[in-house]
Amino acid sequence: MMKEEMEQLVKDYHWMINSVKVIREGMNEVGEGMTARYGVEAAMPKGTGRPADPIYREFNRRERRLKKVYEYERKIQLVQERITFITEDRELEVLHWLLEGKSLRWIGRHMQISDRQIGRIKDAIIYKMSQMPHVPQMS
């Protein structure tokens, strides 16, 4: 994975986590008129001209939103799988705050380190997380 892609994933992690949570909660709420079909009615073909139906449009909107949730979850999982690549305490602390959505300046003040030094630590984190995992070779 490219360093720029990994940096963007780390940067977006916080809001993606929050979006997944909110979207999932919203998906559990069934709106008025969004009644599920059962039995023979569920197997019947849908009529033509459905795009004008507000229920059909709402279904499509929710379906697109659910696809976004799956995309966000895939990206979140990529970051979570690579957290184990970070082993140094300072880097782990900076990574934790980055994933919480904190700025380099905020992290620097919190850790009492210059934000330039935090930037260098962040670059080291991104480098390590963007590397492919080491796979032992069979002899």
Where is 94: in which H helix or E strand? Answer: helix 89-99
Judge whether 76 lies within some domain.
yes
pLDDT digits (tens, 9 = 90+) for 91-129: 999 999 999 999 999 999 999 999 999 999 999 999 999
Q: Which residue has the higher pLDDT, 13 or 25?
A: 13
46-78 tens-digit pLDDT: 655 556 788 888 888 888 988 999 999 999 999
Using DSSP's 3-state secondary structure scheme, residue 84 falls into helix
With bands split at pLDDT 50, 70 and 90, how would you rate the model's confidence at 139?
Answer: very low
Domain coverage including residue 16: 3-28+55-130
Residue 138 falls inside a structural domain: no
State how many domains the chain has: 1
Beta strands in the chain (DSSP E): none
pTM listed for this prediction: 0.73
